Amino acid sequence: MNTNQLIRQKKGEWFAQLVGHASVNAQMFSAEDFDAGDNYKLHGSVQCPRDLSSIDCMKCLNDSIGFIPKCSDLSKGVQIFSATCHLRFENIYHKV
């Protein structure tokens, strides 16, 4: 497995963890850091409105995550807004 494949796999696991936490959290929000080494460190957050069901929140966030390989596969920053959820990750750890 090459480095890019490993990053994709780890990032997918990270997203699944964010979605899982947000969908069961009363605030419908989750934020965590992701460190794949080699200066590839990200901060991410996901959020749904609190009136959305847990299942609908998971579906919305997973649908949003599905757009990432199409538009910004190995990008170090992305924001996806939909009518019912928000996903964001970015590299806030850049060197000055």
pLDDT digits (tens, 9 = 90+) for 5-45: 888 888 889 999 999 999 999 999 999 998 877 777 889 99
pLDDT of 95 higher than 80: no
What's this model's pTM, rounded to 2 decimal places? 0.84
Phi/psi of residue 71, nearest 5 degrees: -120, -25
Q: Which domains does the chain have, with CATH numbers?
A: 3-90 (3.30.430.20)
For every residue of the chain, which 3-state class applies, written as one string? CCHHHHHHHHHHHHHHHHHHHHHHCCCCEEEEEEECCCCCEEEEEEECCCCCCHHHHHHHHHHHHHHHHHHCCCCCEEEEECCCCEEEEECCCCCC
Task: Provide the β-strand partners of residue 80.
Answer: 87
pLDDT at 49 over 70: yes
